[in-house]
Amino acid sequence: MRFVKMHGLGNDYVYVDGFRETVDDPPSAARRLADRHFGIGGDGLILLLPPEPGVDAHVRMRMFNADGSEAEMCGNGVRCVCKLAYDHEATPGIRDHNPMRIQTGAGVLSLRYLLGATGRVERVTVDMGAPELDVGRIGVNLPDGARAIDYPAMQHFAFPVDLPDNWAHHCAMEGGMTCIGMGNPHAVFFCESVADVPLERVGPAIERASIFPNRINVHFVQVHDRAEMTMRTWERGSGVTLACGTGAAAVCVAAALTGRADRAALIHLPGGDLELAWDEPSGHVFMTGPAVEVFTGEWHPR
């Protein structure tokens, strides 16, 4: 089976062109391919496929985390799907569509791409759609007595799970969490020092907390000024990742809603920078960033 290794700001996946290849058991394949010691290595597996019948899209994306679980969407991944479809001409006529419409588990997204000097896709702007602000629809079961903190619609509230080692004091946590849906669920925590967050310990504890029945992506954010932030991510099903596009969109929304930043910001992630803008007239979040092909190869399972 031929594959392409690609990444968006170091958020790397193994990509398979489903117009030409067949993956019989994607969850199992994701676990084997994503293994960084015994496989190709990556945060998971992403399939480029024809859209489902009746869906107004040019191609379809299916995404499987490193643990084999299927996720709704990945902002960095969908940029790379756009690049894969265009650069490798997945289907006749695909290069005539800019913006390109991609079906995901979170709906159909519109992506506008820019070509580099070599005629390949270099940067992509994704219309991420409108954020979901209802905690019930995001997948958060508020416990009895949960306390809303100066925020409408019960979005920002005290986190009810006790975590060890007084870590929140060391990174100067700023209160509760803000829950945002960007096609998948996100919990955003603001603090004064993201470098001091023991992400490998607190990330999995929050991801699997009982109030998140479908688990959740976890982000810690340090605000530098009204238009610049730094974030770190524990990604549901994959662990620590160098970047999370839907997470950056959620951070942009959370910072604006809680009055910490403006609606447009440059967000620094461990793998690089993303430009985010929460457009007021449409209510949609737009994310701009790179898409990079690393190498191609063939996988012969044993």
Amino acid code (one letter) for 7 = H
For 95-242, strand residue ranges (E) read: 100-104, 107-115, 121-127, 156-157, 173-181, 185-191, 217-225, 228-235, 239-241
Residues 155 and 179 sit within 8 Å (Cβ to Cβ) = yes
For residue 148, give the 3-state DSSP assignment.
strand
CA distance 302 to 244: 32
- The catalytically annotated residue of 74, 80, 171, 179 is 74
**Rounded Cα–Cα distance for residues 293 and 46 (Å):** 14
Q: Which of 82, 171, 244, 252 is catalytic?
A: 244
| Amino acid letter for position 189 | F
Catalytic residue flag (residue 244): yes
Q: How far apart are CA 89 and CA 137, in angstroms?
A: 37
Radius of gyration of the chain (CA): 19
Asked whether the beta carbons of 2 and 39 are under 8 A apart, the reply is no
Q: Is 171 a catalytic residue?
A: no
**Catalytic residue numbers, as ranges:** 74, 244
